[in-house]
Structure 1
Amino acid sequence: MAEEGLWREQHIEGNIFVVSLSVADLVVAVYPYPLILSAIFHNGWTMGNVHCQISGFLMGLSVIGSIFNITAIAINRYCYICHSLRYDKLFNLKNTCCYLCLTWILTVVAIVPNFFVGSLQYDPRIYSCTFAQTVSTSYTITVVVVHFIVPLSVVTFCYLRIWILVIQVKHRVRQDCKKKLRAADIRNFLTMFVVFVLFAVCWGPLNFIGLAVSINPSKVQPHIPEWLFVLSYFMAYFNSCLNAVIYGLLNQNFRKEYKRILLTLWTPRLLFIDVSKGGTEGMKSKHSPAITTNNNHAEIHL
């Protein structure tokens, strides 16, 4: 029981970053995407420069927040699986909250220079206010390297080490290892690994186009077809929708909740039945103080 409780507590810290990643995905749906739909409907931007800057800022907040949270998840999984003896000290609840705050502070710090460079502009090809790759060559290279290549390199290293350990455990090379990998650990790792791969696939083309244009704008930019640029942008936008699908396909708990939500939307009366059932079961599950005390003593003796 104690081991199971510790395992659940360790996963709480890891799941904090997953929730944070979900928040980063939802940011674009709250403000930028509705404005993009409005621009498509009006065939141009009609909301003014202030909304353009806010939309571009939130878009960047979502993108950079996603990659930084994916990096934090990879480091968390690497420490949990490959350095389990030090995991409790590195990722207790207090430290995890500090890491989460640091992740979002770095995200905001990474976006602020856009206002000084003037790189948040409306692009009629994609009907949105976003990062303009041609405003500053050096800044675009810095953005691609610091906000994409470096984080993905860190994530790749972490997941390679995890894969190596998983293969070793599978082939019983590490029989002396005290930590046994649970099936749930493997499933969670695979889920976040797929999230990382899809992020790299969806955002890779846009970042590499920006890097190529920045290195040699006069020669490269005229040779990039407009359809390729637009396709790379909408691939990147589509990534925000994919994570929820991945969670549903690979995680049993998410599948159950999705099914429950859909059934509730289809038949709202089920919501009231579940609420009343939960209250009734909660009353039945209450124990008298004497019984609770006896159970506690029994656990201690065990």
Structure 2
Amino acid sequence: MGSTRNISLCYEHHLNSCQKLIYPLTVRAVIYFVTGAIVLLTLFGNLFVIITITHFKQLHTPTNYFTLSLAVADLLFGGVSMPPTMMRTVETCWYFGTVFCKIYSSLNIMLCCASLLNLVCIAVDRYYAVCHPLLYHLKITPLVAVFLIAASWSFATLPALVMMFPYFNTKSSEDFYKDNAVCKGLCVVHLAPMTSLTLSILCFYLPAAVMLSLYLKIFTVAKMQSRSIHNALYDSSDKKHSGKKNSKKNPTISKSEIKATKTLSIVMGVFLLCYSPVYIYSIVIPISGNFGPPQLYDVWIGYSNSACNPIVYALFYRWFRKALKIIVFGKIFQNASSSYQI
């Protein structure tokens, strides 16, 4: 039985070349097809989200501004990060040089951090919409939404800068890295263990903890209100028969807000599910000192999250499906199409 993979070198005439795994033609075609489908779905899906929210005036709300910002991050993933990763997945070597390797790695962490921080903003938005509906329009205004989005993207650039400059590594970790990991054809930006741990906590674990606690509070309040409404129906029925009137009114959560909250919580859940292995890996590998094969750095599980979000919107948002039809059939170019009710 023949081997399904042959081992060669990324650079045949280089003394310190990394090893290259040569996949059979069928395997290469399957990898290109699957990863190419993820890239196209990410690009076109998020482009539809961006066009929909920016074009239709009805959708110009703080919640959708956060969704728009998240779609921009996902679109950049599909256009900037995924194509080089697709090439490395198939070729098992990095052929784009050291400088672009740093830029590529920095963009990856920046976009991932920006996506997560946008999800935190969405969680804050949903918290006020459900837990404090009377304060929602005072606290979460379009101006506040724009400020939070700008702050999220600004903070997301910090870990990217950390990865770009080598002085965040200790000398011992740099020496270990040079002795064990550097070879021609590998793209790995090494960080000192403490730096890697700090970035993982600030860019993933802390925001994830904030989101989970907010959504836990949201669903607790929603459940309590659902129970109180159910009890109020029986009370009003009894008082109707007894001739008494109930003058006490409490603010209630609309069905649309509940549905939006459930949909966006699914988006959050998909993100955490996709990126948890990546961030566990980002802590374990530097601390253990094992760098692993190049294929471990092709985080398609995390990237696939960018393709999943438009699918979630299509499944749960009626306005997204309706807007999609308007765009596909070209009605978006009609006069006053931005004022359509969707």
TM-score by length of 1: 0.73
Number of residue-to-residue matches in the alignment:
254
Over 3 Å counting, the alpha-carbon distance change for 1:281 and 1:23 in structure 2 is: closer
CA displacement at 1:227 relative to structure 2: 10
Bigger mean CA deviation after superposition, 17-26 or 166-175 = 166-175
Give the aligned partner of residue 277 of structure 2. 205
Secondary structure, aligned partner of 1:171: helix
Question: What is the aligned counterpart of 1:70 among 119, 144, 158?
Answer: 119
Question: What is the aligned counterpart of 2:313 among 223, 247, 252?
Answer: 247
Once residues 249 and 83 of structure 1 are traced to their aligned partners in structure 2, the CA distance between those partners, rounded to angstroms, is 27
Give the aligned partner of residue 98 of structure 2. 49
Over 3 Å counting, the alpha-carbon distance change for 1:30 and 1:10 in structure 2 is: closer
Give the aligned partner of residue 287 of structure 1. none
Question: What is the aligned counterpart of 1:102 among 151, 157, 160?
Answer: 151
Q: 2:129–2:257: 8 Å Cα contact kept in structure 1?
A: no
In structure 2, give the amino acid aligned to 1:106: F
CA displacement at 1:212 relative to structure 2: 3.1
CA displacement at 1:229 relative to structure 2: 4.3
Q: 1:117–1:136: 8 Å Cα contact kept in structure 2?
A: no
In structure 2, give the amino acid aligned to 1:145: I
Give the aligned partner of residue 41 of structure 2. none
Moved over 4 A (4+): 8-11, 40-43, 118-121, 127-132, 173-177, 225-231
Q: How does 1:9-158 map to 2 (within 5 A)?
A: 12-40=61-89, 42-117=91-166, 129=187, 132=190, 135-158=191-214
Identity %: 21
Bigger mean CA deviation after superposition, 110-119 or 139-148 = 110-119
Q: 1:65–1:104: 8 Å Cα contact kept in structure 2?
A: yes
Over 3 Å counting, the alpha-carbon distance change for 1:86 and 1:226 in structure 2 is: same
CA displacement at 1:116 relative to structure 2: 1.9
Instruction: Please list the CA deviations of residues 220-261 of structure 1 after superposition, one character each: whole Å capped at 9, or x if unmatched.
Output: x49xx8699468x22112111111111111111112233444
Q: 1:36–1:128: 8 Å Cα contact kept in structure 2?
A: no
Once residues 69 and 158 of structure 1 are traced to their aligned partners in structure 2, the CA distance between those partners, rounded to angstroms, is 14
Over 3 Å counting, the alpha-carbon distance change for 1:249 and 1:25 in structure 2 is: same
Secondary structure, aligned partner of 1:112: helix
In structure 2, give the amino acid aligned to 1:242: C
Q: 2:133–2:253: 8 Å Cα contact kept in structure 1?
A: no
Question: What is the aligned counterpart of 2:259 among 182, 187, 197?
Answer: 187
Q: 2:102–2:163: 8 Å Cα contact kept in structure 1?
A: no
Over 3 Å counting, the alpha-carbon distance change for 1:193 and 1:130 in structure 2 is: farther
Secondary structure, aligned partner of 2:61: helix
In structure 2, give the amino acid aligned to 1:115: M
Over 3 Å counting, the alpha-carbon distance change for 1:118 and 1:40 in structure 2 is: farther
Question: What is the aligned counterpart of 1:217 among 258, 273, 288?
Answer: 288
Give the aligned partner of residue 250 of structure 2. 178
Bigger mean CA deviation after superposition, 46-55 or 190-199 = 46-55
Name whichever structure is richer in helix by fraction: 1
Instruction: Please list the CA deviations of residues 43-72 of structure 1 after superposition, one character each: whole Å capped at 9, or x if unmatched.
Output: 422222232222222212210011000011
RMSD across aligned C-alpha pairs, in angstroms? 3.4
Over 3 Å counting, the alpha-carbon distance change for 1:31 and 1:212 in structure 2 is: closer
Q: 2:109–2:160: 8 Å Cα contact kept in structure 1?
A: yes
In structure 2, give the amino acid aligned to 1:70: L
Give the aligned partner of residue 3 of structure 1. none
Give the aligned partner of residue 238 of structure 1. 304
CA displacement at 1:114 relative to structure 2: 1.0
Instruction: Please list the CA deviations of residues 167-192 of structure 1 after superposition, one character each: whole Å capped at 9, or x if unmatched.
Output: 11211269666322111111110111
In structure 1, give the amino acid aligned to 2:197: I
